Structure 1
């Protein structure tokens, strides 16, 4: 089908989809493969030992932990950009919520790398995100600036994060590729339900009940041998 036959709305929607796919692809140069958000310590210390445990860990993070908070921050960044509100206060809050020095370095390095790479699609939002900026905030603001639906951005972001954890589990030898793909398939409904729920939440809903996961992220800083930076 020729581009002209798609219509303005159809073309814009497909263009937004392509951008979202590019930005959250494992090939996008943010360096996400270097980090595990403390998941490596969960494996080393025996909290995650097989595929069932990987699934349970991911569900916990999405319902009560860091993935939930990241999604809420992304959603709020999307709103701020869409409504023309400044992002400075949100950036400061998201940065302060990092539970450890490694997590702080992870989210800000990923965010800066994301903004730098996303500058290939010029937009004034890039200037508003100069300097250290948490990854979730950067993704939400840039997605909003380019007309990407908030629900779509949330679902794609959560899927990318789950995929990263699965990749970490494979590289650490906890699961194989076949089980990893199965976990991604099983996670689809969870991700879609979570995206729909988190899109309605605001900053007052931020919070975490995953004390062990947060503590393991701190312990990773002094772990003797490790593959990942966090």
Structure 2
């Protein structure tokens, strides 16, 4: 990667993006549970391809672009407010909106343990990538490093969803993360140099899965 994190920055990222950090990420699947129910994700290869698509041209790419913009806007209250509004507006379904907003709200509440003026700029709630991006920028953590950690955490949660849905086991879960490592690092590097002009998603089946999940009869996850 182009930049390196100080030990303090590394520890903070590990804490903020740990499964123990109280954002409730374990409750959300981003439509993956529906994809499993539909048979679109039925084994490790299909899961890897699904996640790679989300990273390359799906909601994870858009979240990374929004994260980078929030990271750059930590000294621009108006700019930060604008990108926060845009991030919320880009939520493609009711469940996607609830997922990103409630995780962002929980993140901001927990992040008050590390006081910073950016928390006052954001208020009580913001979309999850906006919250993590702005707080990371406020604490001087380089965008590429923060993005890599954020994307790895999100993908790790989705791998955990697949394990809990019975699609793969833990060994395949680790192998999936290893196989996506280069993609995550490349996406973090690209997104750190992006602008809002780079927003765009073409993961139509993932969007439909997120919409269909609202009426899935039996489910483990909230999205």
Q: Is TM (by shorter chain) over 0.5?
A: yes
What SS does structure 2 have at the residue aligned with 1:57? helix
Larger radius of gyration: 1
Partner of 1:137: 130
Count matched residues. Answer: 220
Partner of 2:66: 73
Matched, 1:21 2:1: no
Partner of 1:172: 165
| 1:133-161 alpha-carbon deviations (Å, 9 max, x no partner) | 10000000000000101000010011001
Gaps of 5+ in 1: 1-9
Partner of 1:6: none
Aligned mates of 1:93, 1:55 — CA distance in 2: 29
C-alpha contact (below 8 Å) 2:62/2:200 kept by paired residues: yes
Partner of 2:100: 107
Displacement of 1:85: 5.5
C-alpha contact (below 8 Å) 2:108/2:124 kept by paired residues: no
Matched, 1:225 2:215: no
* Alignment counterpart, residue 151 of structure 1, candidates 128, 136, 144: 144
What SS does structure 1 have at the residue aligned with 2:74? helix
Displacement of 1:51: 0.1
What SS does structure 2 have at the residue aligned with 1:166? helix
Superposed CA RMSD: 1.4
Aligned mates of 2:36, 2:156 — CA distance in 1: 17
C-alpha contact (below 8 Å) 2:25/2:157 kept by paired residues: yes
C-alpha contact (below 8 Å) 2:15/2:21 kept by paired residues: yes
Aligned mates of 1:162, 1:229 — CA distance in 2: 17
Displacement of 1:166: 0.3
Displacement of 1:199: 1.2
User: Which stretches of structure 1, 4 residues or longer, exceed 2 Å deviation after superposition?
Assistant: 82-86
Task: Give runs of aligned pairs for residues 18-57 of structure 1, distance below 5 A.
Answer: 18-57=11-50
**How does the TM-score come out when normalised to structure 2?**
0.96
- 1:136–1:122 CA distance, 2 compared to 1 (3 A): same
Partner of 1:7: none
C-alpha contact (below 8 Å) 2:35/2:209 kept by paired residues: yes
C-alpha contact (below 8 Å) 1:75/1:140 kept by paired residues: yes
